[in-house]
Amino acid sequence: MKINPLIPFEPIRTEVIPEGSDWIHQVKWDGVRLLTYYDGSETHLFNRRKNERTMIYPELSMIGDMVKAHSMILDGEVVVLDEEGRPSFHEIMKRDQLRDSSRIDLMMRMLPINYMVFDMLYHNGCWINHLPFCERTELLKEELPENEHIHYVPSFEDGPALFHAVELRGMEGIVSKKRDSPYMINGKNRNWRKIKVIRDLIAVVGGAIFKNGTVNALLLGLYEKKRFIYIGRAGTGRLSDEDWQFLTQLASQMAAEKNPFASPVEKVAGIHWMKPIVTVKIAYQEWTNGQALRQPSIQAIVDMDPKQCTMEERNE
Residue 234: CATH number of its domain: 2.40.50.140
Q: Given this model, what pLDDT does residue 288 score?
A: 86
36 lies in the same domain as 167 = yes
Asked if residue 269 is part of any domain, the answer here is yes
* Helix/strand/coil for 220: strand
CB count within 10 Å of CB 41 equals 9
Return the closest-CA partner of residue 270 out of 236, 297, 246, 235. Answer: 235
Element (H, E) at 141: helix 133-143
Q: Which domain holds residue 185?
A: 10-196
CB count within 10 Å of CB 308 equals 15
Between CA 251 and CA 246 the distance in angstroms is 9
Asked if residue 131 is part of any domain, the answer here is yes
Q: Given this model, what pLDDT does residue 221 score?
A: 97
67 lies in the same domain as 17 = yes
Asked if residue 1 is part of any domain, the answer here is no
- Residue pair 169/86 in contact (Cβ under 8 Å)? The answer is yes
What's the whole-model pTM score?
Answer: 0.84
Q: Given this model, what pLDDT does residue 93 score?
A: 92
Between CA 65 and CA 68 the distance in angstroms is 8
pLDDT in tens, the chain (316 residues): 567 899 999 999 998 999 999 999 999 999 999 999 999 999 999 999 899 999 999 999 989 888 889 999 999 999 999 988 899 998 999 999 888 888 999 999 999 999 999 999 999 999 999 999 999 999 999 999 999 999 999 999 999 999 999 999 989 999 999 999 999 999 999 999 999 998 899 999 999 999 999 999 999 999 998 999 999 999 999 898 999 999 999 999 999 999 999 999 988 888 999 999 999 999 998 888 778 998 999 999 998 999 999 988 765 4
